[in-house]
Structure 1
């Protein structure tokens, strides 16, 4: 079995717990997710099965959209409601000041990863150090906020949507906004609504997946490997060229039957004459295609 299943992760499961559960109910050996979702969060978690695990590195760069809630006037060692919470001073601002604060977090910004995160420093995950009571300095990282929109403000609680680059910590974003409002804030709710082409609408719960397994109809929710990369340019080749490609031999783009440019040209998808996905490649400025990973032989 090869493909991607878009799981609607429930709260109180780690992303790896979900992968292990999927492997068990599908009885497959190879599976992996495309980007960690906090244990307390819910939302879309694409799980790559079989050969699809080989494209997970290309999916981790996808934009991600979240709906989140933050509560100003509190701080936590985990930056969310699951940590040790303290009340901190907060003088309620008028809504214009809150909107102004949010507007400061658009575009390219710097963000310091939280101690309770899977970021590795000298081979150690930060959360392992944090659980031992150790706090260390962390270098800020550049992230990109494509959009951030307030949905509702009710007292000190703010519900908002945000679309961001990989590596963005929404918990940290909440805390940073709170600090800009001369206080602090914790994240009280997080739902991942979208990552790349995977949305809430095309996701399935673990219970629903079990039903598809019992009905012997997993293919109904199994996305083809290539569907996870809809923005990648595509190349179609004849049988003679496919014989080279399946052995890892590159070619010049002029040798292809057709070259279909899309938004992304750093990675190209190679299809055989029958339009079957065959390989992932990269094209240089001179038009030479290097075969990176072969999926069809």
Structure 2
């Protein structure tokens, strides 16, 4: 690998291993690809495994689309014990053993569906006065937090064995599965904590599409030229947006950040529609907003160095 950083553009779907923070996983991937710029779309706790989208180069411009996507998890919840952190890394602070059946669990799971206010746990990366909450928690300090609106899209019981229940849950961004696990335990008449967590989907990306860090390291050592085969397109997280192709003269205007009038108009109620914008050869140029009068305004542009 060249000692100098290079322009690498695309989205890598990493299957993050247990015991590694999202930022450390990001650093490893960035080093493997020798990339100048990288970011990720949705933090996973070190305890958790699963889909962690890594955005390289120009793909970082569209990180918010990944961050705002719904997430899907397999959560393993230990019933009867509460911990200081809400997961298996904390100390047990309460025990309430109780018997439940599948019918009771399904009733409780149905009750948490939809919109709800959730209080972020103290052991989280949310910041208070510039400092992560978990640092206050480690010092024994509890600070005031605002409840946030989250949405549970779907939730179902997969298994119940030896006081451990496995659930499949799809939820909005910002949902804390640790807090949800504790809520479920309380609704069942006892307590609970999150024993293990695996993220299986981020938006339309799935765990089946993801690659392990071990495989990336093997490619790096044996066939680095194949690393690029693991990358998705820069526009991966905006594939659901409608697209428009520009002619050469329109392309130049768009890439200079200027609005241009297209030969069609949107017949929708929204005053502005976001579009993926391509040239006549299918090269992705960025995103734009199409107004009702047919004017396309550039919003996010791909660096022209990408085309060289």
TM-score higher than 0.5 = yes
Distance in 1 separating the partners of 2:45 and 2:303 = 35
Distance in 2 separating the partners of 1:83 and 1:266 = 46
User: Counterpart of 2:205?
Assistant: 198
Q: CA deviation at 1:225?
A: 0.7
Dislocated runs of 4+, deviation >6 Å: none
Distance 1:174 1:285, change over 3 A: farther
User: Counterpart of 1:248?
Assistant: 257
Decide which of 200, 222, 227 is 1:218's aligned counterpart: 227
Is 1:61 the counterpart of 2:73 in the alignment? no
User: Counterpart of 1:177?
Assistant: 184
> Quick check: 1:245–1:279 contact (8 Å CA) kept in 2?
no
Distance in 2 separating the partners of 1:182 and 1:253 = 61
Q: What is the TM-score of this pair, normalised by structure 1?
A: 0.92
Q: Where do 5+ consecutive residues of structure 1 fail to align?
A: none
> Quick check: 1:277–1:296 contact (8 Å CA) kept in 2?
no
Distance in 1 separating the partners of 2:49 and 2:293 = 45
> Quick check: 1:81–1:188 contact (8 Å CA) kept in 2?
yes
Q: CA deviation at 1:283?
A: 3.2
Q: Where do 5+ consecutive residues of structure 2 fail to align?
A: 1-7
Aligned residues: 291
Decide which of 95, 99, 103 is 1:96's aligned counterpart: 103
Decide which of 2, 8, 11 is 2:15's aligned counterpart: 8
Distance in 1 separating the partners of 2:114 and 2:262 = 35
Distance in 2 separating the partners of 1:238 and 1:67 = 46
User: Counterpart of 1:231?
Assistant: 240
Distance in 2 separating the partners of 1:104 and 1:285 = 42
Larger mean Cα displacement after TM superposition, 283-292 or 235-244: 283-292
User: Counterpart of 1:131?
Assistant: 138
User: Counterpart of 1:73?
Assistant: 80
Aligned-residue RMSD, C-alpha: 1.8
Report SS of the residue matched to 1:201. helix
1:133-172 CA-partner distances (Å, limit 9, x unpaired): 1112211111111110100112421101001110011011
1:209-233 CA-partner distances (Å, limit 9, x unpaired): 1233331111210111112322112
Distance in 1 separating the partners of 2:103 and 2:29 = 46
Q: CA deviation at 1:99?
A: 1.1
Q: CA deviation at 1:255?
A: 5.7
> Quick check: 1:4–1:48 contact (8 Å CA) kept in 2?
yes
Decide which of 24, 30, 43 is 2:50's aligned counterpart: 43
Q: What is the TM-score of this pair, normalised by structure 2?
A: 0.89
> Quick check: 2:62–2:235 contact (8 Å CA) kept in 1?
no
Q: CA deviation at 1:32?
A: 1.0
Report SS of the residue matched to 1:98. helix
> Quick check: 1:175–1:185 contact (8 Å CA) kept in 2?
yes
Is 1:267 the counterpart of 2:274 in the alignment? yes
Is 1:277 the counterpart of 2:284 in the alignment? yes
1:221-279 CA-partner distances (Å, limit 9, x unpaired): 011111232211211111111111101112344369xx8x9xxx853211111111001
Decide which of 33, 39, 42 is 1:32's aligned counterpart: 39
